[in-house]
Structure 1
Amino acid sequence: MALQCRNFPLWPPKTSRFPPLSYESAIPSSLSSTSRSISLSKTSSSITSSTPDPISHLTPKQQTIILTRLSDWRESLRTLYEFKSRPDYQPNPVHYNIVLRTLGLARKWDQLRLLWIDMAKEGVFPTNTTYATLIDVFSKAGMVREALLWLKHMKSRGIVPDEVTMSTVLCALKNLGEFDMAVKYFNNWCLGRDGELDFLELDYSSVDVVNPTSFLLSELFKTGCRAPISANDKSQGDLPRKLRLISTYNTLIDLFGKAGRLKEASDTFGAMLDAGVKPDSFTFNTMINICASNGNLDEAEQLFDKMAERGVTPDVITFNVLMTMHGSMGDIKAVLSSYERIRLSGLEPDTVSHRIVLRLLCEKQMVRQVEKVINGILDSGSFVNEESIPIITKMYVDFGLIHRANKFLKKHCSGESKISSRNYAAIIDAYGEKGLWKEAEAVFYGEREIGYRRDIVEYNIMIKAYGLGRQCEKAFSLYETMKRCGVWPDECTFNTLIHMFSVCGLPGKAHYLLNRMRNNGFKPGWQIYSVLMEGYSKKGSFLEAVEVLDEMNNLGVRANEIVYGLLIDMFAELGKFDEALYYLNQMQENGLEPNKVMLTSLIKGYAKSNLLKEAEEVYLQIERIGSEDGGPDTITSNCMLNLYANLGMIMEATHIFDELRRKCKADRASYTIMINLYETLNMLDKATMIFEEFCKLGLDPDVTLVNEIMVCYVAKGDIRGFVDLLKYMLDNKVFPDDMTYSHVFKALKKAGLSYEMMMQLEKSYRDRNQYVQNAILASLFSVYGMHKLALDLCKSYLISDSKLDLVLYNVAIRVFGSAGHVSKAMNLFTKMSDEGIEPDTVTYVNLLFCYGKSDMVAGVRRIHDLVKEGDIGANESLYKALIEAYRDLGRTDLAESAESEMRFVLFSDEESDFEATEIEDPL
């Protein structure tokens, strides 16, 4: 079926729904005396009225001004034909050029075709400006190849391209990325050989006739008035040409810059200055951008300084280029300085300025500066660009300021905000990546402008957010809903759903979606099959995993090393070595060679079953395969190392460990295995020596490794080494676990901490009371003289707003007293009493310790009197604290008296208890 162009009317009828055209706004003030009251409605009525027609008084220049000011293609076309309807109108190519540009920019190709035909009928010859206009509008519409065919049309009409046309062609080729072709065309033009167009490959056969706009173009080429070729035109094509226009120099400089040809760009800039053509802000902006893009920051700064020397005022784009340049180097201070200089120069930042500075500040997570810029934007009467909204939201979310992110979106993403679905998708992704699916869901289902339509990307990102939040049912429900909303799932939708269900332990549902994916015409690749197989393997469903492989083979999807590796790893992990070796052989039959990863899976399986011989055979095979690239990797070696360690084969384990160290491949797992081995064999000194080597290498320890070394220190009785290890643990942000604290309690007991205080700390730890972990560690560090660390741990809970319990106060009093801050310890006791917390035995023991250290005899005697009077329950810990306090005060007499009293009281209590037991026991 032949394609046809419809003959639309050139201008809307006078009964059109469009409002009347007012010429007054389009005419300069100098013409206002003639046309102040003119409007289209009056113009239309003037045909039948005796009122003088104001259009008839307009000169061709004034008509040109009116056409230039009209941006709507309907008004422009209607106005041209209003002018043409005047009997005294002389056809003017300038008028046609203006309207052709307006129609081309609006992509009204049928109207453009009809106007071109009408132009030929009127005998209006196309000029260089006409062709430059057509080349420009077609290239801006994305039809660059078609646009360049106008050069051939020019040649057939005998028109030689002038500098403006040539510059337009350069722009079109530059935008197409054909930099070499553009340079060749420019050189030919300069030498007068612009008729040589073969290198541009301009052929009508390159026009896709199935495309209606391309068909229209071929129709245009068949028409067009042919102007007579003058002798002057012929001779002009043979003369060398020199550039005169600044716009041409700017185009050339930009062309060379985008092509990465810095020298040619600099030479063109120099030639421009030599020719006496004064550069403008666009020239300098382009040169600065080229220098910055090529890493020549000093030259870029020098060019900026030269702007002022040559009297060229920087514009907003100049500062935007500088901000981009400094931002690429991470110099945020220079970026902010350039941003401030925009206003200091009497300019206002534009959307690009805001976007650049907000992006850089958000990347640095400079929240206060971001909010300052936002307030400045709002104060200027502007608004935050939609491209910046996802970036700002992500900054808040990454910084953990979820509430402020929600508040920001509520303010800038109201129902009337015209934010694209693509940017909404980016906002949802910012929440989804952090597992905040509820917040992402609130954005997805939030209020939108009337008629808003979500695209497939936004649906896919929301499904991904559900997946990261492990909300499988919600994701599947959204998948079912999107079709009812007129949005059909694409390949990404199915891939996301299949991956999500596989990871979440629902491979059956993932398999169902895989079948639906195929039924929808998509062809899944091996990647999605491997995800499904991994989902089955994690559940131990090896039969289903094998079925997936068979399914792949039946559909012609070739399995690769990764797919076979999954099966081998799964069977090896389950101890099914015959099946693992079967698929290893099948893979080799299919032309694929085994790699270290899958052979390591076999070693892991053999090691798990303590099959030493088989593991060693595979290990030797890996050594042969990897002899060229350094032999077995760290993971493989660690598998063998772990097997030897489990079997107690210290010589073999040491050999592999030494090889790892020699090749600098030993990691944390390697050291942990060896430390466990030495500890098991009671080689504690060797274990601690290996750990010290580990620390010197700067490797990151984990809590399991540190706990193993703690066992060695405790077993050796080296409590000081134990405490130093605990400090190392905290310095490296390794957080203690239950095993660590069990070792700490043992160390506290060995240090002689009172029985009552030990009971308090252990019970408080079992109850998981707040700050008790800090209190336990502070007690240990205090006992072993590490007072600064102990004080810091106590201060961490003393400065909090939380209500403290008796245990925390007791520890703090003891720690401050031990550090010599007795007055602070007394203040804590007073604060405790003011809060209504009654002191217990541990409190009095700690107070006696403080009184003894600070020569406060009266305080010791006061507590001693309370014990004698029975107001404080007497026990061994309290008496020992009294005796120790008297000795610290140099009162040996009182210490001996208290010791005698202790023996009498405690012995009497024991006798009473014994007698009571004798009476109660009838047998």
Structure 2
Amino acid sequence: MTPVPHCPPVGGAAGTGAGAPPIAGAHSGALSPPPPSASRIHLPRLSPPPSLSSSSTPASSTSPFPSPAASALHPSDEALSSMSPREHTSLLSRQRCWRSARDLFDRLRALPGYAPNPIHYAVVLRHLARARRWAELRRVWVGMELPPSNPAYAALADALAKAGLARGALLLLRHMRARGVAPDEVSMNTFVRALKDQGRYADAFALFRNWCDGRFEVDFLDLDSITIDPDGPMQFLLADICHDKFAAAGGPVIDECPRKPNLVATYNTMIDLFGKAGRLKDALDMLLDMPSQGVMPDTYTFNTLINIFGLSGNMAQAEALFANMVVRGINPDTKTYNVMMTVFASIGDLDGVLKYYRQIGKAGLHMDAVSYRIVLQALCERKMVCEAEDVIEGILNSGGSVHEQSLPVVMKMYVNLGLLDEANTFFEKHCRGKRVSSKNFAAIIDAFAVMGLWEEAEHIFFSRRGDGYKSDIMEYNVMAKAYGLAKQYDRVSSLLDSMEESGVSPDECTYNSLIQMFSVGGFPQRAKKLLGKMKDAGFQPKCETYSAVIRSYSRHCLVPEVIDLFNEMKSSGVEPNIVIYGLLIDMFAETGNIKEALHCCNLLEESGISPNLVILTSLIKAYSKYNRWKEAQDLYSRMKNMDGGPDTIASNAMLNLYGNLGMVTEAKEIFDSLRRNSNADSVSYTTMACLYKGMGLLSESIKVACELQKSGLLSDCVSYNAVMACYLAKGNLRGCAELVQEMVAANIPPDASTFGMIFSLLQNGHVSAAEVLQLESAYNDGKSSAKQAIVAFLFSIAGMHAAALEICEQLLRPGWTIDACAYNVCFKVYASCGKVEKAFSLFMRMNDLGLKPDTVTCIHLATCYGKPGVSEGLRTNGLLEYRTDELVPSHNALVAYIETGRNNVALQLVKK
């Protein structure tokens, strides 16, 4: 299909819409635009779902008569008297608030001839528990005219579990056991669900198994250990259990007989329980057992099974269950398709997600918020901008709004693609001024933060929120992260001031993030100051927090400060871990303090921690400072007996030590071992090449250098210099020049050692002493163009004319100012390449700039005069006024003066 370009966001142009303020400091061009999609997925445009009957059309507020719905919920006493108990139950269930349910129940109890009904109590208790009206609940419980029965227990347990009071729900099991009320299937199912939701799968299985066996045992639940707040809502249950009438009864006898579940809800709960516990075969067996018990699976059954098999990675079984569902005549609902979409989204199968997304409309169903959220997540993760915007348009056309959890997902897609104008438009339309939770608002800020777009993150952070919504600590923490990633450390202080003005106190995460930020950023003093504030605020810094600050100080070898922090940490009751000890030992090793390094190692072992490879490597480095090879060798042998053995860093440390002492045999043994195991790096090769060269084993040194060059490990200036030193020893001019060219191409600038070798190479008779002296003087004087000129000179004498010309063109760009040395080099390069006219033109420019010819200039002029055909070319172009018969004798004289060292006379000849 033809690639489709990026579409503008819905409801606005691709740029910032009129009246919408742009994101502060937007960098719309900072990132490359997204590549065009390979194909455009045409997503269905579904009609909006049908409106809900009465709820979508509110009654006129001016009507003096109650609506029919209101009249039905609050019938007269006469109407209540004519209703059956079942109708009373239905009416109680349909009440919209706990108060109306309680008042209706009181009216029912006051009716003449009303018989107490356990179901009515159950419904009222559920209303009160869900509303957390504990005082009212206790009043109803204590005033029950019937002993609590299964319906009351089940209703109350369900409401408590959903209110997050699962322990109180389980306490009802003790109450049932004390009263001698055996759970029926509904209440058993309720308690199993409560245990399942708490993750107590084994207890849930035991409760179900005991119930099937006809036993009601609760001892395995360890209910006596459940602590209930003495002032909490369920405290009265404990008092009820300990009542004298229960104690005197000595525990009622409960009839025990085997049971089989016959409710589809029970099977659904157990299937979900087996799935969460990872017992997929048992879950499938429950499905197969249902028909034999006369229980038919419903949509929820299959939704649960598809979900547990799909999310466990068994896609084939999930799809087979979906097909089996259709064969059985059980119609999938929107949740079924959402489950299938979730399953395919979990494995990153976009085609599968879209397949079931499209089928929702074909089945005559309507997408819900979950459907849209799943498909938007999948499309945004694939950065399919146009398709995601089609979905958003469909949401808006159906009268809905983009789900809050999808907002950061869409924003992240735009930001990662560099579509900041589109991100701004989306934010203005869907986020600004809306009641977006702090969690999702922080996620939007984080989308900019991770890309280093701190200005845009700041703009979002200070944007107007919905009524009653203020920035909380989570958003402040993410904004601090944005400043840290962008190295905008000075802005953190104003952020903290803003927190204080808003009444938001930094939490432990805030302090840890800021301390980590300043530590990594190289501001140990600021990190330590925050560490003190953290302690003053009542937070106890963890070992990792101290570790960040200690690492920052140790990186700068600030020994006293590190020791102070270490002692402060121990006095605060925080035990140092192996990372802390490792930092101290490495710091002492770098400063050559073997005694303190060994002392820290002893402290480490006294605390019950064995030194690891990193710590032993640091000790080897410490011994290397004083060439104590015997102790280092013992440590290295100890490392060989540890898991993994010595790593490359430790081996290189030993190589360096042996190299300093000229111990070739020992060094070669380690080097050969590294090569055999493919663990040798550029440091290994460099150290060995230098060792061989230093010992006069030039052929071995060159062999190692060539192997290093072929290995692809040349990655820094040190390794390049090691290879160049070998070429220099052989007098290989071309090889040295090509190495320098590789360095320049790899953006590795030559260092002082590199230039020192270049000068040594040039002094070996390749050029005159005057030229080398001028190059060295320009380099030592720090001339801005000296380094480039030296490299161009090297390339020229090595015959690499194209590379030399490229550098000269850069030096002679308009607006650049270069010194006489660089002009002379360019003069030489042009002359050597046969570009004589360009060389003489450069000579004339030097005269115009007042740069008088020196000895080196004379040498290059002599080179130009010696080129065949130069005289005719110069005369024809009118660059010089000399006649041909005058030019040759002048050239011969110039060369003679230079060769005999009479440079002053040569200069006078040039001036004439």
TM-score, length of structure 2 as denominator length: 0.71
Deviations 1:895-916 (A, max 9, x none): 9x999x9999877667789999
Change (3 A) 1:82 1:589: closer
Does residue 125 of structure 2 align to residue 100 of structure 1?
yes
Change (3 A) 1:743 1:82: farther
- Distance between the aligned counterparts of 1:768 and 1:74, measured in 2? 86
Match of 2:669 in 1: 655
Change (3 A) 1:267 1:921: closer
Deviation at 1:168, TM superposition (A): 1.6
Paired letter, 2:460: V
Deviates more, 1:79-88 or 1:332-341: 79-88
Paired letter, 1:551: E
Q: 2:401 aligns with which of 377, 383, 399?
A: 383
Deviation at 1:689, TM superposition (A): 3.6
Mapping 1:500-649, distance limit 5 Å:
500-585=517-602, 587=604, 593-605=610-622, 607=624, 609=625, 611-612=626-627, 614-615=628-629, 617-645=631-659
Change (3 A) 1:370 1:751: farther
Match of 1:782 in 2: none
Deviation at 1:250, TM superposition (A): 0.9
Partner-residue secondary structure (3-state), 2:234: helix
- Distance between the aligned counterparts of 1:307 and 1:922, measured in 2? 103
Deviations 1:777-827 (A, max 9, x none): xxxxxxxxxxxxxxxxxxxxxxxxxxxxxx9xxxxxx9xxxxxxxxxxxxx
Contact 1:43 1:54 in 2 (8 A): no
Match of 1:763 in 2: 811
Unaligned runs of 5+ in 1: 1-23, 27-34, 48-52, 770-806, 808-813, 815-838, 846-874, 884-893
Q: 2:219 aligns with which of 193, 198, 203?
A: 198
Match of 1:133 in 2: 155
- Distance between the aligned counterparts of 1:626 and 1:498, measured in 2? 38
Change (3 A) 1:298 1:700: farther
- Distance between the aligned counterparts of 2:793 and 2:666, measured in 1? 37
Mapping 1:349-388, distance limit 5 Å:
349-388=367-406
Q: 1:147 aligns with which of 158, 169, 174?
A: 169
- Distance between the aligned counterparts of 1:542 and 1:168, measured in 2? 63
Contact 1:602 1:615 in 2 (8 A): no
Q: 2:334 aligns with which of 316, 325, 341?
A: 316
- Calculate the aligned-residue CA RMSD, in Å: 5.0
Deviation at 1:304, TM superposition (A): 1.5
Partner-residue secondary structure (3-state), 1:212: coil
Mapping 1:259-270, distance limit 5 Å:
259-270=277-288
- Distance between the aligned counterparts of 2:540 and 2:603, measured in 1? 24
Contact 1:494 1:513 in 2 (8 A): yes
Change (3 A) 1:744 1:331: farther
- Distance between the aligned counterparts of 2:377 and 2:618, measured in 1? 45
Does residue 497 of structure 2 align to residue 449 of structure 1?
no
Q: 2:194 aligns with which of 172, 181, 198?
A: 172
Deviation at 1:108, TM superposition (A): 1.6
Does residue 95 of structure 2 align to residue 78 of structure 1?
no
Change (3 A) 1:151 1:535: closer
Contact 2:689 2:702 in 1 (8 A): no
Contact 2:585 2:618 in 1 (8 A): yes
Change (3 A) 1:765 1:527: farther
Partner-residue secondary structure (3-state), 1:639: helix
- Distance between the aligned counterparts of 1:752 and 1:509, measured in 2? 52
Q: 1:329 aligns with which of 343, 347, 350?
A: 347
Match of 1:494 in 2: 511
Does residue 270 of structure 2 align to residue 252 of structure 1?
yes
Match of 1:116 in 2: 141
Contact 1:390 1:423 in 2 (8 A): yes
Deviation at 1:133, TM superposition (A): 0.9
- Distance between the aligned counterparts of 1:408 and 1:265, measured in 2? 44
Deviations 1:346-375 (A, max 9, x none): 333333333333444444444454444444
- Distance between the aligned counterparts of 2:166 and 2:178, measured in 1? 20
Paired letter, 1:215: Q
Match of 1:463 in 2: 480
Partner-residue secondary structure (3-state), 1:277: coil
- Distance between the aligned counterparts of 1:287 and 1:566, measured in 2? 52
Change (3 A) 1:342 1:592: same
Deviation at 1:44, TM superposition (A): 9.9
Deviation at 1:447, TM superposition (A): 1.2
Partner-residue secondary structure (3-state), 2:341: helix
Contact 1:117 1:224 in 2 (8 A): no
Deviates more, 1:275-284 or 1:73-82: 73-82
Deviation at 1:290, TM superposition (A): 2.4
Paired letter, 2:403: N
Deviations 1:65-120 (A, max 9, x none): 433322322233233334555557555443333222222222222222222334x2
Paired letter, 1:634: T
Deviation at 1:243, TM superposition (A): 2.5
Contact 1:113 1:220 in 2 (8 A): no
Q: 1:67 aligns with which of 80, 84, 92?
A: 92
- Distance between the aligned counterparts of 2:910 and 2:679, measured in 1? 70
Partner-residue secondary structure (3-state), 1:529: helix
Paired letter, 2:811: K
Paired letter, 1:173: L
- Distance between the aligned counterparts of 1:348 and 1:662, measured in 2? 65
Contact 1:502 1:510 in 2 (8 A): yes
Paired letter, 1:335: V
**Count of aligned pairs:** 758
Deviation at 1:878, TM superposition (A): 14
Match of 1:888 in 2: none
Give percent identity, aligned residues only: 41
Deviates more, 1:470-479 or 1:440-449: 470-479
- Distance between the aligned counterparts of 1:224 and 1:418, measured in 2? 54
Deviation at 1:444, TM superposition (A): 2.1
- Distance between the aligned counterparts of 2:113 and 2:241, measured in 1? 31
Contact 2:160 2:168 in 1 (8 A): yes
Paired letter, 1:515: G
Contact 2:125 2:156 in 1 (8 A): yes
Partner-residue secondary structure (3-state), 2:528: helix
Deviations 1:279-328 (A, max 9, x none): 12211122222223433322222111111111122223223332333333
- Distance between the aligned counterparts of 1:289 and 1:42, measured in 2? 40
Change (3 A) 1:632 1:199: closer
Deviation at 1:660, TM superposition (A): 0.9
- Distance between the aligned counterparts of 2:339 and 2:646, measured in 1? 51
Contact 2:98 2:131 in 1 (8 A): yes
- Distance between the aligned counterparts of 1:919 and 1:746, measured in 2? 29
Does residue 258 of structure 2 align to residue 240 of structure 1?
yes
Match of 2:6 in 1: none
Deviations 1:373-411 (A, max 9, x none): 444433433333222333343444444444544443333
Change (3 A) 1:170 1:906: farther
Paired letter, 1:639: A
Mapping 1:652-731, distance limit 5 Å:
652-674=666-688, 683=699, 686-687=703-704, 689-691=706-708, 694-695=711-712, 701=715, 705=719
Greater RCO between the two (CA within 8 Å, min separation 6)? 2
- Distance between the aligned counterparts of 1:436 and 1:125, measured in 2? 66
Change (3 A) 1:332 1:919: closer
Match of 2:305 in 1: 287
TM-score, length of structure 1 as denominator length: 0.70
- Distance between the aligned counterparts of 1:624 and 1:63, measured in 2? 83
Partner-residue secondary structure (3-state), 2:290: helix
Q: 2:441 aligns with which of 413, 424, 429?
A: 424
Deviations 1:830-878 (A, max 9, x none): xxxxxxxxx99789x9xxxxxxxxxxxxxxxxxxxxxxxxxxxxx9999
Deviation at 1:253, TM superposition (A): 0.9
